[in-house]
Chains A and B, each alone.
Chain A
Amino acid sequence: MLDALKDELLSQVNAAADLSALDEVRVSALGKKGRITGFMKELGALTPDERKERGQALNALKDEIAAAIDARKADLAAAHLKARLEAERVDVTLPVRPETEGRIHPISQTMDEMIAIFAEMGFSVAEGPDIEDDFHNFTALNFPPGHPARDMHDTFYLPDSGDKKMLLRTHTSPVQVRTMLNNKPPIRIIAPGRTYRSDYDMTHTPMFHQIEGLVIDEATNMGHLKGCLVEFCRAFFDVDDLPLRFRPSFFPFTEPSAEVDIGCSRKGGELKLGNYGDWLEILGCGMVHPNVLEACGIDSTRYQGFAFGMGVERVAMLKYGIPDLRTFFEADLRWLKHYGFVPLDIPNIAHGLTR
């Protein structure tokens, strides 16, 4: 008789289509008024021997049914989950939610790269105002009165302030002057910043950026100038054997003065940097002129050193293949997206400078 019940209940369990049907089966079998429970209640009326035998059989049946219910439950849950997941299917080829990614301007990135290199050589960054007077921009730098650079054709002037002729700095050299006036040697600084000259054509913009360097102590000589710039250029352009050529030149504020060329190739109209036999001018430098040291309150019989300067846009154009200077200042989103840098790409010698 119990076998028949077992078969019946098992078939009911297996036939239960969902969790609630299964629960109904459970209640009908094992609930307070369930059929197995009912038989259990009848046990008291039996003899001890019968009770024992019958009890064991009922317990076995109860366990078997309970196990079947649990198994069925797991199956149903799995089937339910499977159905739910199937129903939840989405089209993963749809595009993601819009995220906006900004860019760092190549000028900032290039300056950060330069700062990273010069920081390794012990330079710190000095800054100064864009609006200068002619003492800091010219006179202290040994520009004689009447020098063409002082001309209105080249330099932007502002109204005089008292007896000072005010102007927009034409180089970041006034930062060197201010540094020397306010600090005692040894000095080792770089001065990045905006500079201005009255020129606007294919290759000139009225505003551009420069980075200059200044080292003043008792022993720095032209050999150190060469060593410093060779290291810089090779690291910056990421060309280990980049040759440098130092040519004698002329600047009012240095003596001796040199212009520096780096090796390149122009074959087929394409510029490549490296040891290819051709040369490209990249920066100006020299030993700080004694008149400049004296104008800045530094004893030129005891101290000496070098200075150099280069155009940030120019080296950025060379390094990153940017063809037109004027586009740097147009804030064209397409240009910024293309030539700009992602914000986490922070130049760092440890990580490598260039992506």
Chain B
Amino acid sequence: MKFTLSWLKDHLETDASLDQITEKLTALGLEVEGVHDRSKELAPFRVAHVVSAEKHPDADKLRVLMVDTGAGTLQVVCGAPNARAGMKGVFAPEGTYVPGSDITLKKGVIRGVESNGMMCSKRELKLSDEHEGIIELPDDAPVGAGFADYAGLNDPVIDINLTPDRADCAGVRGIARDLAAAGMGTLKPLTAGHLDTTPVEGRFASPIGVSIDAPEACPLFVGRYIRGVKNGPSPKWLQDKLVSIGLRPISALVDITNYLTFDAARPLHVFDADTVKGNITVRLGREGETLAALNGKEYALDGAMTVVADDERAEALAGIVGGEPTGCTETTVNVFVEAALFDPVRTAQTGRRLGIDSDARYRFERGVDPAAVFAGMERATRLILELCGGEPSELVIAGAEPDWKRSLSLRPGRVAALGGVDLPRDRQVQILMDLGFTVEGEEADGRLRFGVPSWRADVHGEADLVEEVLRVHGFDAIPATPLPRETVLTRPALTLKQRRVALAKRTLAGRGLSEAVTWSFLSGPVAELFGGGEPGLRLVNPISSDLDVMRPSILPNLIQAAGRNADRGFADVRLFEVGAAFRTPAPDGQDTVAAGIRAGAAVPRHWAEKARGVDVFDAKADALAVLEAVGAPAANLQVTTDAPGWYHPGRSGVLRLGPTVMARFGEIHPSVLETLGVKGPVVGFEVMLDAVPLPKKKGGTAKPMVQLSAFQPVERDFAFVVDRKVEADKILRAVKGADKALVKDVAVFDVYEGPGVGEGRKSVAVSVTYQPTTATLTDEAIEAVGQKIVAAVVKATGGSLRS
């Protein structure tokens, strides 16, 4: 919402400075986004008279002007096609900074002719994009006068960011009222000059009648016929106002409606009455109906839109934009003026659907003052009669002013209790009265009853009254009070589940993976590759078809990120993300998953290391590390080989606790990589953090007693020859189970297939640690446990000890 300082002063009697006013506006919640004071920038530009214009001796398209600047006559070379003797324009002397072209003028010689300054175009002064020729001023423009003063551009323009609740401040009047309440002056009455809303007596009955077919969309429509008007350019005071806030003056009739839109937040429409067929009806749009609007575009209408129609067709989109065929022109003689109330929600929805941002819509969707329809009509009538002449009809009225009256009560102590700052009762009452509230009485318990003004549809309850009082008093005056502590020491902010997320992230980062944050949605076909894409998780209105389904897994996003990094020349990728994967749209249908990928080299080429690419065991290690970090019983997990289809079937696994899946890991299936356009191999893992059981509450923080044996551990190696399909895990479990008390650790240190072990067989070598607890192991005891181990492995695997 833009307005100028002088416009504000039309409504506000004040001697406050511009700075005081802008500061107060922001403090009132009318946030000042910018103050544009053009008078400084435009100070060097003057009204000048072109005394003579001769063709440049050496250039066909240039003219040599003699310009009377009011302070002497100067020679100026000018290329504008409209430069001619006798015209008046805007002159800038040498040394002037020209804002529209971002240059500072220097005295110049153009093709041998001296030029002392410049005649300016509108673009050069940033008045518009117009650069066809230089500005032409009327003959009565005073030579030597400052152009900013002459053109009404000396008025600081204030731009406020209006919150959607403040419909009243979509007009200068409402802004002035807030400032007056906050002590910035007094509000002028609506009884004189261009503010006068005194009713005008109608001289005849309007030949155009009005009816409302859609009362839910338009509760009140007031019309007036004015005959015999003479439309033409509006007077300078009005043009200046509109120009100053960036509006283009069109004609007196149109300018009056724009003026009242910004001055009183009261949009109006003026039809050329001679183009209206029959009577006016407010109704819903019809399928197939179209409107050629005043903005030059044609719109298809439907039953969700409100239109103002005549007997033939829709002539305007109610509260949004008028129609071209019934618009006023220079030749308009008879007009029909509309002042109405239109439903804010329909207006907003129609405007959004059609993409029309008009000044009228801006106000109707916020809500126009229901009690000011008649006042708006009378002000408009007075302005039309003053500027265009004519004879007004009696009002034609359809519908009725909606019942907007309501009263609210306020406990004076509530301002302190909710707002934290105590204000005397009288001060509270004064603030509310200054804002237009009326005191309706005091209840026995001290509650005050206030009538809410018609223009404050946003005020509904006691909290709103508190806000009004606080807002005008100033939020700055509220003391900052520390939040009292509930306990001396604070309790942990995170639950164990939440801490696990943090632990998973920092564990993975510690293992060399970098954390990514990727979209929660991805493309349908990719989702399907990873087991997703169910209808309930497809966005109805995705931002693009790449991002239309909630992700069933984090992996595809990470794999694609690996591809992008590889395309940039960084093929060794280690990324993880901890976040949601979606199974169903229900609140419990999203799982917290820690997922990661590795691609490229696990060990890069290095003088001291053997280079190798990533493999499934890198991913398995990541998964196990996360599980360990979040407290899963890593030692009790089983590995199964039934990972889902996006993993390589022979190089992947599932870590389970009983039947529950804790994690999946493996090489990503090559055909999945191919579909995603990413070069493999890529390995990945997904840890289901929500599936990890919470520890049973045992009470106390003590750990079990540590058992440190006084006796030397003994290490022995065994190699078993087994069928190549036998899983190592089977051997390890058999070894451990052979003597649970003595076998402390077992590790695979070699796996061999090839000559010497037989076709289809492999040798698995393990190193076993025995830890005695009661006595040093004797050779016999060592021998005995060795035999038990061999027997257990042979039994479990059908293999034999390698000889």
Contacts and interface: CB of A to CB of B under 8 A. Distances in A.
Interface in A110-144: 112, 115, 118-125, 127-131
Interface string B569-582: 01001111001101
Given A98-B603, A188-B486, A328-B517, A247 B29 contact: yes
29 contacts: A94-B607, A100-B574, A102-B576, A104-B506, A104-B509, A105-B515, A108-B517, A115-B493, A119-B492, A121-B490, A122-B483, A122-B491, A123-B493, A130-B580, A156-B543, A159-B585, A198-B541, A200-B544, A206-B519, A222-B419, A231-B483, A245-B476, A250-B458, A256-B475, A289-B463, A290-B463, A304-B417, A331-B565, A336-B516
Nearest to A155: B541
Interface stretch (B66-74, B239-247, B531-539, B666-674): B531-539
Given A157-B539, A159-B538, 9 more contacts: A124-B491, A130-B550, A161-B536, A161-B585, A223-B478, A257-B467, A304-B417, A304-B418, A336-B514
Contacts, number: 282
B745 interface: no
Interface string B405-426: 0000000000011111100000
Contact of B606 (A97, A159, A336): A97
Contacts of B28: 248
Interface in A331-348: 331-334, 336-337, 340, 342-344, 346
- Chain B: interface size category: 35 or more
B587 interface: yes
Binding site secondary structure of chain A:
mixed
B505 A108 contact: yes
B470 A129 contact: no
Contacts of B112: none
A151 interface: yes
Contacts of A161: 536, 585-586
Contact of B547 (A125, A206, A231): A206
Contacts of B558: 331
A352 interface: no
Q: Closest 8 CB pairs between A and B?
A: A223-B420, A100-B512, A248-B29, A256-B467, A119-B493, A331-B561, A102-B509, A343-B509
Contacts of A128: 587
Contacts of B481: 221, 223-224, 226-227
Nearest to B537: A158
A108 B576 CA distance: 13
A247 B418 contact: no
- Chain A: interface size category: 35 or more
B483 A220 contact: yes
- The winner among A127, A222, A257 for most chain B CB atoms within 10 A is A222
Contact of A250 (B27, B165, B517, B585): B165
A344 B503 CA distance: 11
Contacts of A259: 31
Nearest to A178: B587
A302 to B, nearest CB: 12
A280 interface: no
B609 A98 contact: yes
A131 B589 CA distance: 9
Interface string B501-534: 0100111111111111111110000000000000
B512 A125 contact: no
Contacts of A199: 543
A102 B619 CA distance: 15
Nearest to A132: B587
Contacts of B418: 221-222, 256, 287, 304
A207 interface: yes
Nearest to A229: B480
Interface in A237-279: 245-250, 255-259
B193 interface: no
Given A148-B352, A157-B540, A224-B420, A334 B506 contact: no
A102 B510 contact: yes
Given A122-B487, A224-B481, A248-B471, A156 B515 contact: no
Contacts of A319: none
A120 B490 contact: yes
B163 interface: yes
- The winner among B416, B418, B476, B544 for most chain A CB atoms within 10 A is B418
A332 B467 contact: no
Contacts of A103: 509, 514-515
A250 B515 contact: no
A145 B345 contact: yes
A152 B482 CA distance: 41
B471 A331 contact: no
B265 interface: no
Interface of B: 26-29, 31, 163-166, 345, 348-349, 352, 416-421, 458, 461-464, 466-467, 470-471, 475-476, 478-487, 490-495, 498, 502, 505-521, 535-544, 547, 550, 557-558, 561, 564-565, 568, 570, 573-576, 579-580, 582, 585-590, 603-604, 606-609
B585 A340 contact: no
Nearest to A105: B515
A99 interface: yes
Contacts of B512: 99-102
Contact of A108 (B484, B487, B515): B515
B498 to A, nearest CB: 6
B482 A231 contact: yes
A146 interface: yes
A224 B483 contact: yes
Contacts of A158: 536-540, 550, 585
B464 A258 contact: no
Contact of A124 (B421, B493, B509): B493
A94 B621 CA distance: 29
Contacts of A121: 483, 485, 490
- The winner among A112, A148, A340 for most chain B CB atoms within 10 A is A148
A109 to B, nearest CB: 9
Contacts of B585: 131, 158-159, 161, 166
B516 A129 contact: no
A230 interface: yes
A228 to B, nearest CB: 5
B480 A223 contact: yes
Given A97-B609, A151-B352, A220-B483, A102 B508 contact: yes
Contacts of B466: 255-256
Nearest to A196: B520
A89 to B, nearest CB: 16
A330 interface: yes
A121 B485 CA distance: 7
A107 interface: yes
Nearest to A128: B587
Nearest to B164: A250
- The winner among B31, B492, B541 for most chain A CB atoms within 10 A is B541
Contacts of A153: 352
Given A227-B481, A290-B463, A336 B31 contact: no
A34 B393 CA distance: 149
A259 B27 CA distance: 11
- The winner among A146, A166, A247, A257 for most chain B CB atoms within 10 A is A247
A121 B466 CA distance: 27
Nearest to B578: A108
A223 B491 CA distance: 24
B470 to A, nearest CB: 6
B564 A330 contact: yes
B518 A336 contact: no
Interface string A82-104: 00000000000011011111111
A202 to B, nearest CB: 15
A112 B464 CA distance: 35
A221 B417 contact: yes
Nearest to B507: A343
B498 A127 contact: yes
Nearest to B547: A206
A258 B564 CA distance: 42
A131 B419 CA distance: 35
A215 interface: yes
